[in-house]
Amino acid sequence: MSATETLNAFLTIIRKEVIRFTRIWLQTLVSPAIMIALYFVTIGVIIGSRIGEMGGFTFLEWMVPGMVMMSVINNAYSNVLSSFFSVKFQKSIEELLVTPVPNYIILGGWIFGGMARGIMVSVLVIIVSLPFVNLSVQNWPLAILVIFLTSMLFSIGGFINALFAESFDDVSIVPTFILTPLSYLGGIFYSIDLLPEFWRTVSLGNPILYMVNALRQAVLGSSDLATMGMTIQFALFMIVLFIVILFFLALWLLNRGKGIRA
Amino acid sequence: MEALTIKNLKKTYEGNHEALKGIDLNVEEGDFFALLGPNGAGKTTTIGIISSLVNKTSGQVKILGIDIDQGHSLAKKQLGVVGQEINFHQFEKVGQIIRNQAGYHGLSYLQAKQNAEFFMKRLDIWDRRNDQARTLSGGMKRRVMVAKALVNRPKLLILDEPTAGVDIELRRSLWDFLQEINNELGTTIILTTHYLEEAERLCRNIAIIDRGEIVENTSMKDLLARLEKETFSMDLDKPINTIPSNGDFDFKLKDSRTLSVTVKKGQQLNEVFKTLSNEGIEVLSMRNETGRLEELFLSLVESDPDKSLLLDVKLGEME
Ligand SMILES: Nc1ncnc2c1ncn2[C@@H]1O[C@H](COP(=O)(O)OP(=O)(O)O)[C@@H](O)[C@H]1O
Ligand SMILES: [Mg+2]
């Protein structure tokens, strides 16, 4: 395929992906926004007022970057997972396999689709947070970069999950048993300062902790990164490293025909 | 040039099921070719390998002279495939499905739109372009499959049992359409079927596949001529040295006491016996030497489309 043809194929996949999740916008965009709004009201406003400060900020301020991250992670991941799984399930993956479109374009197309949804939902979450909290973002470019990279990483994760999933029951295993616990324990609500020594150390093995705090650093100008003895550069480096590793893993699985070729 | 060349192609599925046992196949450019065989013969597996939906175990496949292992993307560019099962996303719109397929082939949005419009109009699905695919009838879905396969204007179009389970009217209109495509655009067409009538009506050349082996590969004409004949084997009461002569029948001596005769279907066997008794030859026993091909054909002819139509219609309603 020539460069133009490759680009056309890439744009076709992305367009199709965006059309897919905007077609079912109630589920994919509105529902996560409502869920986050409920978190803000119940935990942020009502309970949060009794909690007092967290890491030197009001609980609501502390919580917003965590909520943004949680929604980016969930939505990027589940978008690619459910979209690619249903393409596999309905056999419309064959539409792509019979064409010359290279596998990295297929993978890239779905990743961009997942990122588009993750980023859109994160914008919605920020809009929803406006009535509750008056945030002045300290470092916009960094905030955007962190959201961008995180949505990319979890889109790839969702793709790998979709390749392995063989039934609708398989689809929810990783999100329920791995992703959700890691998110809740990834410091979206609390500072790891609050944890006993042992659990603080255990938390360091959770990659989501780094991402949540990287965004918190960008938004609030302060985070747990310092406590963890870590710079923002290192956190970004780790995210990029994970992206590279998982991207090539996904591409390798795709090239082998994992879950899609007999 | 050959539109399709297959050499010693083998496929063993997981669990050691040998679906293809080393098949060879050649299809000339511009041909209308049938791959005929009963269920489970290996037709879909063959097509799956050609269109890279199935990994082959060994062997070589060339599309318009390009090896699919080496010129992977160049080869696929020339190819359009109508799968045996509906394989588009049921919640997408018809127009979108067809346009996207062109996009995956690398066509620009505008070009994709034009090609999609052209084939949707030709296949009478233009009015349904904004409807979700799941709202279409089974026959309409088939047409979407065909439009989708043609939207990149492939040189080689492969259809896997395109008329299985569709009603007579659509079957006929699809036949006409494919013939037009073959004539007008010069598209090489290969279709698999287990209906003899379909192959007979459309195709110039034919291969017959059974249990993972090509048992016959010839022109439709030759095959039909051969099926017109029957061979019988006769045991004689005493040895003979000279073959009886009669212009109407083709006698062959297998050994001194076994004589075989080939007659056109419908020719009187009585005549054969008369000829033999005139020469003083007595037949002790006789059997029909139906070969594998003939047996296969008998079973295929029994699944003639028009005869099995009632069943198809019933299945269609249950979907
Ligand atoms: N994915 C698969 N895994 C294992 N066996 C298969 C698979 N697909 C087909 N087969 C077997 O391979 C043989 C050929 O199947 P297929 O190519 O579908 O035949 P046809 O299309 O001629 O009906 C059959 O015995 C079938 O059961
Ligand atoms: Mg088949």
pLDDT given at position B304: 47
Can you tell me whether residue B317 is helix, strand or coil?
A: helix
Q: pLDDT of B79-96, one tens digit each?
A: 999 999 999 999 999 999
pLDDT average, residue stretch B231-237: 85
pLDDT given at position A257: 87
What confidence tier does B129 reach under pLDDT thresholds 50, 70, 90? very high
Residue B50 CB less than 6 A away from ligand 1: no
Q: pLDDT of A24-78, one tens digit each?
A: 999 999 999 999 989 988 988 888 888 888 888 999 999 999 999 999 999 999 9
| Min Cα separation A26/chain B (Å) | 16
pLDDT given at position A115: 98
> Which has the minimum average pLDDT: A105-109, A142-146, A189-193, B120-124?
A189-193
CA distance B304 to B206: 17
| Min Cα separation A8/chain B (Å) | 5
Burial B143-156 (b: 16+ CB within 10 A, else e): bbbbbbbbbbbbbb
**Among B246, B235, B232, B230, CA closest to B282:** B235
Q: Is the pLDDT of residue A22 over 60?
A: yes
- Does the beta carbon of B107 lie under 8 angstroms from any beta carbon of chain A? yes
What confidence tier does B319 reach under pLDDT thresholds 50, 70, 90? very low
Q: pLDDT of B182-201, one tens digit each?
A: 999 999 999 998 887 888 88
- Does the beta carbon of A92 lie under 8 angstroms from any beta carbon of chain B? yes
* Helix A59-89 vs helix A140-164: crossing angle, to nearest 10: 30
Please check whether residue B97 is in contact with residue B130, taking contact to mean a CB–CB distance below 8 angstroms. Answer: no
Judging contacts by C-beta atoms under 8 Å, the chain A residues touching residue B47 are: none
Q: Whose CA is nearest to atom 14 of ligand 1?
A: B42
Judging contacts by C-beta atoms under 8 Å, the chain B residues touching residue A98 are: 51-53, 76, 79, 81
The average confidence (pLDDT) of chain A is 92
pLDDT given at position B212: 94
The average confidence (pLDDT) of chain B is 86
The ranges assigned to domains in chain A are: 3-256
pLDDT given at position B290: 63
What confidence tier does B150 reach under pLDDT thresholds 50, 70, 90? very high
**Among A189, A192, A182, CA closest to A226:** A192
> Which residues 6+ apart lie within 8 Å of B178 measured at CB?
B32, B159, B162, B189, B191, B202
pLDDT given at position B317: 28
When comparing pLDDT for B301 and B277, which is higher?
Answer: B277
When comparing pLDDT for A226 and A147, which is higher?
Answer: A147
pLDDT average, residue stretch B220-233: 80
Residue B20 CB less than 6 A away from ligand 1: no
Domains, in order of start, for chain B: 2-224 (3.40.50.300), 227-319 (3.30.70.1560)
What confidence tier does B20 reach under pLDDT thresholds 50, 70, 90? very high
Burial A103-131 (b: 16+ CB within 10 A, else e): bbbbbbbbbbbbbbbbbbbbebbbebbee
Distances (CA, A) of A143 to A72, A148, B64, B119, B207: 12, 9, 52, 48, 63
Q: pLDDT of A128-155, one tens digit each?
A: 999 888 888 999 999 999 999 999 999 9
pLDDT given at position B308: 41
Partners of B20 in the β-ladder: B11
For the CA of B38, the nearest atom of ligand 1: 22
> Which has the minimum average pLDDT: A220-229, B235-244, B298-307?
B298-307
Test B109 with A11 for CB contact under 8 angstroms. Answer: yes
Test A95 with B148 for CB contact under 8 angstroms. Answer: yes
**Among A90, A110, A114, A91, CA closest to A101:** A110
> Which has the minimum average pLDDT: A241-245, B236-240, B259-263, B313-317?
B313-317
Judging contacts by C-beta atoms under 8 Å, the chain A residues touching residue B86 are: 91
Place of tokens 């990994």: B55
Q: Which of A92, A98, A257 sits opposite B89 (nearest CB)?
A: A92
- Does the beta carbon of B53 lie under 8 angstroms from any beta carbon of chain A? yes
Q: Which of A1, A98, A261 sits opposite B81 (nearest CB)?
A: A98
Å from CA of B42 to ligand 2 middle: 7
Judging contacts by C-beta atoms under 8 Å, the chain A residues touching residue B73 are: 1, 100, 102
What confidence tier does B313 reach under pLDDT thresholds 50, 70, 90? very low
